[in-house]
Structures are given as C-alpha cells and as structure tokens.
Amino acid sequence: DTGVSQDPRHKITKRGQNVTFRCDPISEHNRLYWYRQTLGQGPEFLTYFQNEAQLEKSRLLSDRFSAERPKGSFSTLEIQRTEQGDSAMYLCASARQPNTEAFFGQGTRLTVV
C-alpha cells in the first residue's frame, strides 16, 4: 500500500494552455474523488468515480474540465484553456468502498500565469 500518488506535484502554466493531472489511487480502491482546494477553504468537490463509472460531476465545473478513469485504476483530470481562476490545489482521494474512509494524495498545485 503505497498511498495515493498524484503527478505532477506542481504545475505552472500560461493562461489558455491545457493541463492534465494524473492520480494513482491505492490498489483495489474502487472509489476515486477529485477535489479542488484554495487557500483557507475546504476541499470543493469536483467529481467522483466508482470503478470506471463517473457518478457525479459538480455543477460548478465548467465544460473546460474533464476527468476519466478508463480502466477503473488511475484517473486523469484535464483542464482546457486554463484561466487564472483555476489556480488551486487539486486533490485526489480514493476509498476501498463507498462507505469507508478516503485517503488523500499530496495534491497538484496549479498556478496559471
């Protein structure tokens, strides 16, 4: 059990560019979450998967955001045409089952300049 791994840890990008983040959950964890956290705020839900099925996507999430979990293992989060307001920490978490605790990765800090 190596924990939830996120890559990259830091990303600086110019406004308008596309970025993609990767999350490797704990092995055999069926549920995977993506959150966004800005300074001084709690994690804001973005989307979550049960195996490869995306169960819900936040209404706050614009069409520029898309997430996939193609084989029910790792997941990617893509942001197209980044804006300065996208600057935040993007957190991934996984859980063995829906009613068990989630384990978080260290996050990817995105800075859009």
Binding site for other proteins (CB under 8 A): 33, 35, 40-43, 45, 48, 50, 55-56, 91, 93, 95, 98-107
Q: How far is the CB of 81 from other proteins (least distance, A)?
A: 26
Report how far Cα 30 is from the mean position of its chain's Cα atoms.
15
The DSSP secondary-structure symbol of 35 reads E
Contact 47, 58 (CB under 8 A): yes
Residue 45 vs 74, nearer CB to other proteins: 45
Q: What's the closest the beta carbon of residue 37 comes to other proteins, in angstroms?
A: 9
Q: State the minimum distance, in angstroms, from the CB of residue 17 to other proteins.
A: 26
Residues 6+ apart with CB under 8 A from 102: 31, 33, 93, 94, 95
50 versus 76: smaller Cβ distance to other proteins: 50
Query: Would you say 43 or 72 has its CB closer to other proteins?
Result: 43
Least Å distance, CB 41 to other proteins, is 6
- CA-CA distance, 100 to 45, in Å (whole number)? 17
DSSP character at residue 98: T
